[in-house]
Amino acid sequence: MGMGYNRRAFNMLSVTEARERILSHFKTTATESIPLIACANRVLAADIASAHELPLFDNSGMDGFAIRAEDTSASHITLKVVGDIPAGSTPNLTLKPGEAARIMTGAQLPEGANAVIPVEDTDFHNRKAGTSAPETVSFEKKIKAGENVRPRGMDIQAGEVVIKKGQTLKPQDLGLLAMLGIANVQVYKKPRVALLSSGDELLAVDAPLESGKIRDSNSYTLAASIESAGGDVLRLGVAKDTRESVEGLFKKAINENVDFILSSAGVSVGAFDYVKEVIEANGEMDFWRVNMRPGKPLAFGKYFDKPFIGLPGNPVSAFVGFEVFVRPVLERLSGKLESSRRRIKVRSAEEIESDGRESYLRAKLHEENGIQIARLTGHQGSGNLLSLVQADALLIIPAGVKCVPAGQEVEALLL
């Protein structure tokens, strides 16, 4: 009784301990240089500094007329239009007192000009393409020096670090790199993961149903999860509960030189553990009981020199295990400095009972008076994938907590 319980609790690894143990076997992948267009969602392997300032030259922020601010006043003023400066051209003129030049957004400001009056504030309203500039332009407005001008160097200084190593590149980052003329980018190689499911009960998604069998759903959840974390997947398929079948798939993983092997199922008590047998013939494997729910059983080992992570088979346990143990591995491998999963504080709409293990509960969030409120999406059985599909967060109930009263603040991992 008491003894047994205590011994079990003592043998149990905390989530943090288990994650640290796994992470200690991984380091960042090698880097490669790839074309800018292929860089979305890739992780930058070196700081990017701008070789020059941006904007590159003083330019107009509006379609209008480049002017000398000192020529303007609140009463009627007419300036002689001495030039026409479309975007992309070099203005070869200098504005003298009383002069203006028609200018397009982004076009370089001529010498002598220090402001732009927007076309809509003047008597020249014809903005059709191909219309030639007027001989004079009139307006009634006092313009300050610098108005509607984007000065050279206003955004970025030469030598300034604009994107840091470890950042996952977003579409707008690619745009900035293009502004800086960076055609090829040094990024971390994408981690490659060999993925297999195991179990004689598993059918392919398009196979006819058979008595006692279920469809292999984990390989879809996990393959997509790996990709969402920036990895490439080698889908090995389903290992039957035989030594030969498991060994065959593992050998494929080794030949394909992946970063690690990920499997689901076959790690719980009573599972036919051919996985263990195969790994131990050419490596080593530990079974851990982690103080968490769902997903207590977890396997970690090496097959030859390849790390192996064995997640539990139940669909929600496999998903949660991925988020808690495997996503961090992929983030470390791919050099990401920030996790792609955000954690926020929310309030539970209801009382939640827990068994004292660190629990990950499926919940949907909604906002009430500026506060995020969480409601559980259904029963929390580890096979109930629908309640995970309906959730947009996992509430994290810390180890040791048995009851969260309604209205209490809890941490939520946003999915």
Among ligand AMP, Mg ion, none, partner that 264 touches (CB below 5 to 8 angstroms by kind): ligand AMP
- Kindly identify the residues of this chain, within the stretch 157-216, that bind ligand AMP according to CB under 6 A: 197, 199, 201-202, 214, 216
CB 117 within 8 A of CB 135: no
CB nearer to ligand AMP: pick between 118 and 315: 315
Q: Tell me the backbone φ, ψ of residue 188, rounded to 5 degrees.
A: -75, 145
Residue 55 engages Mg ion in binding (rule: CB under 5 A): no
CB nearer to ligand AMP: pick between 197 and 380: 197
Rounded to whole angstroms, the maximal C-alpha distance in the chain is: 99
As a whole number of angstroms, the distance between CA 266 and CA 198 comes to 7
Tokens of 379: 């029963």
Question: What is the H or E stretch that residue 176 is in?
Answer: helix 171-179
Residue 264 engages ligand AMP in binding (rule: CB under 6 A): yes
Min. distance of Cβ 267 from Mg ion in angstroms? Answer: 9
Q: Which stretch binds ligand AMP (CB under 6 A): 1-9, 61-69, 279-287, 312-320?
A: 312-320
Among Mg ion, ligand AMP, none, partner that 217 touches (CB below 5 to 8 angstroms by kind): ligand AMP
Residue 266 engages ligand AMP in binding (rule: CB under 6 A): yes
As a whole number of angstroms, the distance between CA 385 and CA 334 comes to 29
Residue 334 engages ligand AMP in binding (rule: CB under 6 A): no
Kindly provide the b/e burial profile for residues 253-274, where b requires at least 16 CB atoms within 10 angstroms of the residue's own CB. beeeebbbbbbbbbbbeebbbb
Cα 63 versus chain centre, distance: 38
Residue 299 engages ligand AMP in binding (rule: CB under 6 A): no
- Kindly identify the residues of this chain, within the stretch 197-216, that bind Mg ion according to CB under 5 A: 199
CA angle 148, 149, 150 (to 5 degrees): 125
Cα 140 versus chain centre, distance: 51
Tokens of 235: 């889908």
Min. distance of Cβ 225 from ligand AMP in angstroms? Answer: 13
SS3 content of the chain, % helix, strand, coil (to 5): 20, 35, 45
Q: Which stretch binds Mg ion (CB under 5 A): 57-65, 165-173, 258-266, 362-370?
A: 258-266
As a whole number of angstroms, the distance between CA 117 and CA 78 comes to 12
Work out which of 268, 282, 340, 372 binds ligand AMP, going by CB under 6 A: 268
Among Mg ion, ligand AMP, none, partner that 41 touches (CB below 5 to 8 angstroms by kind): none
CB nearer to Mg ion: pick between 196 and 265: 265
Among Mg ion, ligand AMP, none, partner that 218 touches (CB below 5 to 8 angstroms by kind): ligand AMP
Work out which of 91, 313, 321, 335 binds ligand AMP, going by CB under 6 A: 313
- Per-residue x/- track, 276-305, Mg ion (CB under 5 A): ------------------------------
As a whole number of angstroms, the distance between CA 391 and CA 378 comes to 9
Residue 307 engages ligand AMP in binding (rule: CB under 6 A): no
Is-cis flag, bond preceding 55, omega within 30?
Answer: yes
Work out which of 294, 312, 321, 335 binds ligand AMP, going by CB under 6 A: 312
As a whole number of angstroms, the distance between CA 337 and CA 335 comes to 6
Interaction site with ligand AMP (CB under 6 A): 197, 199, 201-202, 214, 216-219, 264-268, 271, 312-315
Interaction site with Mg ion (CB under 5 A): 199, 265, 271
